[in-house]
Amino acid sequence: MGKSPRPTGWLTPILGCFRRLGLARRVQFVPFVEPRASDSPAPVFDLRHLSKTYHIGEVEVRALRDVTLALPQGEFVVLLGPSGSGKSTLLNIMGGLDVPSSGEVLYHGEDLAQADEGTLTAYRRRHVGFVFQFYNLIPSLTALENVQLVTEIATAPMAPEDALRLVDLDARRDHFPAQLSGGEQQRVAIARAIAKQPAVLLCDEPTGALDISTGIVVLEALERVNAELGTTTVVITHNAAIAAMADRVVRLADGRVTSNQPREGARMAARELTW
**For 46, phi and psi rounded to 5 degrees?**
-130, 100
Among the residue ranges 25-33, 37-45, 86-94, 171-179, the one whose residues contact ligand ADP (CB under 6 A): 86-94
Q: Report the SS3 class of residue 116.
A: coil
For the bound state, the minimum distance from the C-beta of residue 270 to ligand ADP, rounded and expressed in Å, comes to 22
Partner interacting with residue 231 (select from ligand ADP, Mg ion, none; CB below 5-8 Å by kind):
none
Evaluate the CA torsion angle 154, 159, 161, 163 in order and state its sign.
Answer: negative
Whichever of 89 and 142 has its CB closer to ligand ADP, that residue is: 89
**Strands annotated E in the chain:** 43-56, 59-72, 76-80, 102-107, 110-111, 128-131, 200-204, 232-237, 248-253, 256-262
Whichever of 54 and 275 has its CB closer to ligand ADP, that residue is: 54
Residues 59-78 interacting with ligand ADP (rule: CB under 6 A): 61, 63
Partner interacting with residue 59 (select from ligand ADP, Mg ion, none; CB below 5-8 Å by kind):
none
Partner interacting with residue 198 (select from ligand ADP, Mg ion, none; CB below 5-8 Å by kind):
none
How many C-beta neighbours within 10 Å does residue 7 have?
A: 14
Q: By CB under 6 A, is residue 237 in contact with ligand ADP?
A: no
Q: By CB under 6 A, is residue 54 in contact with ligand ADP?
A: yes
Q: In this structure, are strands 76-80 and 248-253 parallel, antiparallel, or unpaired?
A: parallel
Residue ranges in contact with ligand ADP by CB under 6 A = 54, 56, 61, 63, 81, 83-89
